[in-house]
Amino acid sequence: MALSASMTTISVEKACQVIREAIHSGQYPGGSWIRETAVAQMAEVSRTSVRQALNVLAAEGYVELHPNRGAMVVDWTEENLLQVFDVRAMLEAYACELAAMHRTDAELGALQHEADLFSRLVAPADGQDSRLIAESNNRLHRLILAACRNPRLASLLVAVVQVPMVKQTFAKYDHAALQRSAYQHQDLVAAIRARDGAWARAAMAGHILSAKNVIFGSAAQVAPAVPEALSTVGRGRRAAN
């Protein structure tokens, strides 16, 4: 029984991975329907595993389930993505505050290593590898989530953070914006190193809002993403520096 359950879990994850990659590559664009038979053939798993995988992906925000019709890939409009960044700014800022209080020396070392790697990757004015840059960025954010010691918060953020990656957001970053992001990563690590929760929270909120403005420009000003108290803390920290 245990072996059977393990094999089922592997099959479901395999189907999830096939569908995620198809969405990321554009094979399944927003608004398209996912056919269970086609996925079962691609992943070489049963349709039951595909159905379970679609439930997982619905929870992650990749698809919407429609009774008697199937699963549709979420079409992330600009307005929806703006809302995602608003949620990230609040939740990730809190996670970073917790990480500053609970991180271990080993976790701090891993964060510094990743921030340094990101800085090296974005240093060239041309010839940058956007895939490696995105992977390094994602690792740093995951390390912060792991250090926050709040599994419920981390699980909420995993679903939220994955959505913008469908849009390959780093494609809109010029060299100056990448350099700014690298400086912000170093600031995040410095705040976590100092165990200064208020600084860490403000630094992460500023980092997410900066990304939001790079990607969406003037549209990012539609609504404030974080409470005024956080903005005040961030301004005070910058003034102090």
For 107-140, what is each residue's pLDDT tens digit?
999 999 999 999 999 999 888 888 789 889 989 9
Last residue within a domain, chosen from 73, 91, 114:
73
Query: Domain with 194 in it: what CATH number?
Result: 1.20.120.530
Question: Among all chains, which residue has been given the structure tokens 């096939």?
Answer: 18
* Sign of the Cα pseudo-torsion (72, 80, 91, 116, in order): positive
pLDDT at position 165: 55
* Contact indicator for 85, 211 with CB cutoff of 8 Å: yes
Exposure on the CB side of residue 128, measured as CA atoms within 13 A:
24
* Contact indicator for 7, 46 with CB cutoff of 8 Å: no
pTM: 0.70
* DSSP sequence for 70-124: EEEE----HHHHHHHHHHHHHHHHHHHHHHHHH--HHHHHHHHHHHHHHHHHH-S
Query: Domain with 64 in it: what CATH number?
Result: 1.10.10.10
For the record, the structure tokens of 146 come out as 């792991």
3-state secondary structure 195-219: CCHHHHHHHHHHHHHHHHHHHHHHH
78-92, 115-129, 160-174, 208-222, range with greatest mean pLDDT: 115-129
pLDDT digits (tens, 9 = 90+) for 147-197: 999 999 988 887 676 665 555 567 778 999 999 999 999 999 999 999 999
127-150 in b/e form (b: 16+ CB < 10 A) is: ebeeeebbebbebbbebbbbbbeb
C-alpha 60/C-alpha 54 separation (Å) is 10
Last residue within a domain, chosen from 33, 55, 73:
73
Same domain, 61 and 108: no
Relative to beta strand 33-34, strand 63-66 is unpaired
Q: How confident is the model at residue 235 (pLDDT cuts 50, 70, 90)?
A: very low
**Number of folded domains that form the chain:** 2
- Which residues sit opposite 195 in a β-bridge? none
Task: Tell me which residue range forms the domain holding 202.
Answer: 78-240
How far lies 85's CA from each of 89, 221, 226, in Å?
6, 12, 10
Same domain, 174 and 200: yes
What are the helix and strand counts (H, E) for the chain?
A: 10, 3
Same domain, 139 and 196: yes
Q: How confident is the model at residue 1 (pLDDT cuts 50, 70, 90)?
A: very low
pLDDT at position 240: 39
Same domain, 56 and 163: no
pLDDT at position 54: 96
